[in-house]
Structure 1
Amino acid sequence: MTAHKAPLLEIRNLEKRFDLSGNFLEQLRFRKGRIVRHQEYVHAINGVSLGVQKGEALCVVGESGCGKSTVARTVMGLLTPTSGEIHYGGERIDQLDGKALLPYRRKMQMIFQNPYASLNPRMTIQQTLEEPIRFHQPAMSNTEVRDKIHEVMHSVGINPDWGGRYGHEFSGGQRQRIAIARALAVDPEFIVADEPISALDVSIQAQVLNLLMDAQESRGLTYLFITHDLSVVEHFGTRVAVMYLGTVCELSDTQTLFDSPRHPYTQALMSAIPRLEDSGASHIRLSGEVSTPVDLPSGCVFHGRCPYANERCRREVPGLIASDSGSQVACHAVEEGRL
């Protein structure tokens, strides 16, 4: 993160828990001869702090269930954080609602993972794109709205003459292009892309990814890009945050991360990337017990699978510490020079 430049989006100690306990009666348990109340939570995000600079693409990666999509939805206000702060343009927005949040709704848009579910099947493409424009820019005339819709459809490679069609008449790649057009229709400056290409055929993924990169260059967009595909990160990302069980274990610029990953979990992820050439590097196979966000381990959340874990790792939670390479790593082994 640039020291002298404030980030466009800043997340501070963000936490999100989901209550699995049910109603009061469902929480009651009979133990050791008496009735006790048992509450159970999914600890989806645990003290995440990130900053996204204007014009960059910060990629958040990790295995399924690590909390990356929850971060995206919490940033967009689709989920209410349990604790922590979200700042946009220097203003705190996580406590805003109603009319106070409307200016940020226009500046911040989201592209969802599944283009088959994110488009309303009862609305034509024209209506889908027209709705956000008329909501956020009610002063625009019918001609201006029509011209705007034609401009964004053309920019994403969709024929404007197809505006009268419904979502089911398009392929998955075309639907995702329409979803991107919907996000661009109100001229945002920040876009959260939650696994936007994972539901598409491999042959279409590169096209959509290039479309997002072209939009970033032509419109000056800033991305928070959620993905599990590290090959996409290498091609698209400016910086990378690696998450495990709701925590950020490594934060680095893309080139540094791929050249010299520091955290044991990041090293294991990198070794799993399929490569055509035989580089001689072996696939790191993690052993040990896989913890869940319902029953988080003490200390470092990765210590149960880490070959470098010691007693300190089992009892003390590591914080992000800047390394010589410029990356930030939450690892006692790295801090102590054991790795």
Structure 2
Amino acid sequence: MKDAMSDGPLLELKQVEKRFDLDQGFLETIKMRNGKVIREKRSVHAVNNVSLKVDRGEALCVVGESGCGKSTVARLIAGLLKPNAGEIHYDGTRIDNQSRRSMIPLRKKMQMIFQNPYASLNSRMNIQQALEEPVRYHNPGFGRGEVRDKVAEVMRSVGVDPSWSARYPHEFSGGQRQRIAIARALTVDPEFIIADEPISALDVSIQAQVLNLMLEAKDQRGLTYLFITHDLSVVQHFGTRVAVLYLGSVCELADTATLFENPKHPYTRALLSAVPQLKDDRPNHIRLKGEIPTPINLPQGCPFQSRCAYANDRCLAEQPRPVQQPDGSMVACHAVEEDRMVD
């Protein structure tokens, strides 16, 4: 059975939705509207009908503006949040409806690297203790020497001197802390890593080092990545495929080369136009106009309609569905579907 599943995607999201209720108690739901008392429960629609597949050995990058739902998607996959609708499958098994106890074996296969290296390490633990903890938890049969050898091996692999193991997190720079956080994720020999903006808190001079380290780990250990970022220049260097999110919905999904050479969705074009380029043939920066909708009150039709130069009546009334393009990319846009885009 396992062999039959191995041909499918390692991870699959099927029409996943996540809402966060703003009004918790009964009194918070009571509102005045046109002189009348009504009951209204408001929610933040963070993730809306997202479907994604991640194949073994690839690095799928999820990009978009702050607040578009990228980190929520990461936390849903990691099991830190439960979806309100849809399904999440890992290696052919549904995981979003499992208990915390039944998820324990999966924790060894799936690890997460967080955005802030200053907050993700326990300040009361030295580095040896921080790295030994997951090894002991997931490998109860390991002896003390085996645990120490494993920690030393992983520390060397990420460029951290094992002789530093008695030091505490505050004694390291941001880049060194993120290397240690990567080492902690690798100590249990995972096959899938969720990286939630792992370099955004680091100096630009250090970002390339950490990215290259993650790519080396991918090649040496056969890792699969879900890489969350808002930096498209990082995507071009790191990703095999890219999913572009806007207000919790996937508006474009394509191979990295295809997306950068021929972006189709108006939002993707605007994002890419803001990336500094040395070439002269790139289009000028596209300035988006209009109001940014709130995820509390989503537009009825296309979520991008209020900022799109190509929006028409259909865009205001009907939400677009992802449609496969001749080059293999998926685009959710009425203007692309009707060939109304003008280059």
TM-score (norm 2): 0.96
Aligned pairs for 1:127-206 (under 5 A) are: 127-206=129-208
Give the whole-Å Cα distance in 2 for the aligned partners of 1:176 and 1:165.
Answer: 15
Give the whole-Å Cα distance in 2 for the aligned partners of 1:27 and 1:208.
Answer: 46
Tell me the equivalent position of 1:54: 56
Give the whole-Å Cα distance in 2 for the aligned partners of 1:27 and 1:312.
Answer: 33
2:255 is equivalent to residue 253 of structure 1: yes
Give deviations 1:230-251, integer Å, cap 9, x for gaps. Answer: 1110010000000000000000
Q: State the one-letter code of the partner of 1:234.
A: Q
Partner secondary structure for residue 215 of structure 2: helix
TM-score (norm 1): 0.97
Q: How far is the alpha carbon of 1:275 from its aligned partner?
A: 2.1
CA contact (8 A) 2:251 2:333 kept: yes
Q: How far is the alpha carbon of 1:16 from its aligned partner?
A: 0.4
Moved over 6 A (4+): none
Q: State the one-letter code of the partner of 2:61.
A: C
Q: State the one-letter code of the partner of 1:316.
A: E
Partner secondary structure for residue 294 of structure 1: coil
Partner secondary structure for residue 62 of structure 2: strand
Tell me the equivalent position of 2:283: 281
* Matching residue within 237, 243, 246 for 1:241: 243
CA contact (8 A) 2:273 2:282 kept: no
Do the aligned partners of residues 8 and 166 (structure 1) sit closer, same or farther apart at CA in structure 2, a change above 3 Å counting?
same
Do the aligned partners of residues 33 and 244 (structure 1) sit closer, same or farther apart at CA in structure 2, a change above 3 Å counting?
closer
Give deviations 1:77-102, integer Å, cap 9, x for gaps. Answer: 11111111000000000011132111
Name stretches of at least 5 consecutive residues in structure 2 with no aligned partner: 1-5
Tell me the equivalent position of 1:90: 92
**RMSD (Å) for aligned C-alpha atoms:** 1.2
Give the whole-Å Cα distance in 2 for the aligned partners of 1:338 and 1:34.
Answer: 44
Tell me the equivalent position of 2:324: 322
2:42 is equivalent to residue 40 of structure 1: yes
Tell me the equivalent position of 2:313: 311
Tell me the equivalent position of 2:28: 26
Tell me the equivalent position of 2:103: 101
Q: State the one-letter code of the partner of 1:275.
A: Q
Q: How far is the alpha carbon of 1:135 from its aligned partner?
A: 0.7
Tell me the equivalent position of 2:233: 231
Tell me the equivalent position of 2:13: 11
How many residue pairs are counted as aligned between the two chains? 336
Do the aligned partners of residues 89 and 310 (structure 1) sit closer, same or farther apart at CA in structure 2, a change above 3 Å counting?
same
